[in-house]
A and B are shown apart, each in its own frame.
Chain A
Amino acid sequence: MTKSVKQEMIGLNGDEAVAYAVKQSDVDVVAAYPITPQTIIVEKFSEYVANGEVETEFVCTESEHSALAASLAASATGARTFTASASAGLALMHEMLFVTSGCRAPVVMAIANRALSAPLNIHGDQSDSMAQRDSGWIHLYVENAQEAYDTVIQAFRIAEKSDVLLPVIVGLDGFTLSHTLENVRVLSDEDVKRFVGVREFLNVLTHEGKSVPFKLDPANPMTMGPIAMPNYYYEFKRQQDEAMQNALTAIQDLNEEFATVTGRKYGNGLVEMYSLDDADVAVVCVGSACGTLKTIVDELRQEGIKAGLLRLRTFRPLPVEALRSALENMKAVAVMDKSLSFGGEGGAVFHEVRHALYDSKKHPPIVNYIYGLGGRDSSPRELRGVYEDLLQILKTGRVEKTLTYLGLRE
């Protein structure tokens, strides 16, 4: 690896790390509405604005719905745009998530993942962003504050790539990451500015055959967000799906490019494999619990148990091939879900990992664990129990229970 640039270690919680990354990324517009546990992002950024530390227009809207509408419109006008939300706020945005991706507006949004009401709960789980799975946004989930900082910087580049042009959600677990102070290595303002560059525009052809930048520009009038009847709508959607496939490459490329600057990378950008190559039993997990699981894997390895972890960093686009090749040789797999798909027999991640393995010739048993809903703590002992269950499957050759609610008072 080439020598990385000079970095400074500072204490930041996850939200602050996000705000710091946005501050450095030459963002033109931030339109947002505060909601726990995302508030620190908005508050911190407001301080930057109030102190003249950023050249950014901050629009503190009257709702999340307007926050995303304003973000989309700013992005369509050509601005690099950021917003942030969580839980009920993200749910209120739901309509606009589809419009944003459909308008191909490369907005970046941090989500401090939080449970959905009712009952009202402000604590962390991933129900909010998992419910937005099919909204056409790229979904990246981070493990710690450092990765939150790094990923937000990468996200602008991923979103703005002309063969992608899709909005990106960066998910960080509420409180566990959003409010927990960590040592974060930050780049200089100049290095981040150099990395993110200035937003480039896809050139599109007008009806007169003129090639013009894809944005609202009085010099080149363009109609954006029109109505498309059954004779055209379908093609728009197919193009979005193609862009998602292109994002698989963009995410990996940016992960590599970032590593050459900072020395840090997160697996291949899509999945991170931890002691997985020769593992017998593997856990698949998303987000901050992966930190605890890595410690458990280390313990188990010391005990001579071939345990591994696959951290799913990119949930959309789903890295089907990477999941299949990484997991098909396992003898048993457990998938962790910090959200529920009611009536769906398991969580979203479980469904998708099983789907990824369907075309494999080998079909290791795969079980699902729901955990941490509404901020319920998952202790290392409980998480270790997941591996112990997998070992039991190995021993007996039988799956007793496909779906387990970890740490639940039955």
Chain B
Amino acid sequence: MTTTSQEWKFTTKDIAEKPDLFLSGHRACAGCGPATVLRLMMKATRGPTIVTEATGCMEVVSTIYPYTSWAVPWLHTAFETAAANASGIDAALKVMRKKGRVKDEHVDIIALAGDGGTFDIGLQALSGAVERGHDFLFVLYDNEGYMNTGIQRSGGTPMGAATTTTPAGTVIPGKLQAKKPIAEIMLAHEMDYVATASAYYWRDLLTKVRKGLEVEGPAFLHIFAPCPRGWRSDPAKTMEYSKLAVESCVFPVWEAINGKRQLSTPSKLIALAPQKKKPITDYLKGQGRYRHLFTPQNKHMLDEKQRITDERWEQLLKNCEQT
């Protein structure tokens, strides 16, 4: 029984009526962005689904033996293996269905990883699995650091952020490098579906999960998911930061179907009315990881961050125009 995203509008009623597949009782922190993302993600599934997850926050909080928050078959093997697992599951289902050993006509596969398991240690496996064309949706919940192991930098950590391996010191003001443009890298794999989403815009997120599942072949969804613990931010403001990141164009939301890219509504509204674009300081202030940037000696970092944000936004607008 599958419903296409065109038919399913993902109304609050739809969502309320659909049983949770990521269940309560997990041990995520108060205000955890990724936990909300996972609950929403599972609301968008359309039938038999297998989830395979990389080592990370969401894996350890949801499957502390003998408990589990997963109401679907779920497999964890290692930090860097989410996409490789997905390729094994895909191959197994494909051949066993042919041999009559699997009865389900179709099983969706979701590979789930944080930014560590995607930008960094899992990138090779992800690239390989996508190149091989396996039928799976890779969902990246990006909380911009190795939060599970105590807030260390990742390739997804933005410039200027203080982490435990890029502390805001007297000489070095946090991470010096910019965030790796992971969705662009995945788009360069010529995938049929690549999208970004933010936890605040839940309907957009659900629709994108569903679209990603509907694609026959690999799909990639990059979801922005604040971490109050790692960002030193107020747990009550997780959704606010999810919104501000989009409004400041720090994290624009878009989707590319068959390489044709377009902004999703929240970002499109800013493109249409540029005066609505908020300065990044609106988003940065209040996050403890950026506190040191709001000092006179680090003003250049703030300026640089604004410049990178603007440059990437302008480039995105051009990319959307061209396609």
Contacts and interface: CB of A to CB of B under 8 A. Distances in A.
B87 to A, nearest CB: 5
Give the interface size class of chain B.
Answer: 35 or more
Overall SS of chain A's interface: mixed
Interface string A211-230: 00000111111111111110
B59 interface: yes
28 contacts: A28-B99, A61-B132, A62-B125, A62-B128, A65-B84, A66-B128, A69-B84, A69-B85, A70-B85, A70-B87, A73-B84, A73-B88, A74-B88, A75-B92, A77-B89, A78-B96, A81-B88, A81-B92, A95-B78, A217-B73, A218-B50, A218-B72, A222-B74, A223-B74, A224-B74, A224-B76, A225-B75, A227-B60
Nearest to A54: B95
A362 to B, nearest CB: 46
B131 interface: yes
Interface string B76-100: 1110110111111101111110110
A332 B166 CA distance: 61
A73 B75 contact: yes
Interface in B22-73: 48-50, 52, 59-60, 63-66, 68, 70-73
Interface in A227-241: 227-229, 232
A340 interface: no
A65 B86 CA distance: 14
Contact of A57 (B59, B85, B91, B101): B91
Interface string A107-119: 0000000000000
B281 interface: no
Given A31-B87, A62-B124, A63-B124, A76 B75 contact: yes
B92 A55 contact: no
Contact of B63 (A56, A61, A76, A226): A226
Interface residues of A, number: 47
A71 interface: yes
B127 interface: yes
A69 B88 CA distance: 7
A96 interface: yes
B65 A226 contact: yes
Interface string A47-70: 000000001110111110111011
Nearest to A225: B76
Contacts of B71: 221
A127 B132 CA distance: 32
A178 to B, nearest CB: 25
B85 A73 contact: yes
Nearest to A73: B88
Contact of A72 (B50, B70, B85): B85
Contacts of A99: 77-78
B81 A69 contact: yes
A240 to B, nearest CB: 15
A323 interface: no
B17 interface: no
B157 to A, nearest CB: 24
Nearest to B64: A227
A103 interface: yes
B236 interface: no
Given A76-B75, A223-B63, A229-B64, A62 B131 contact: yes
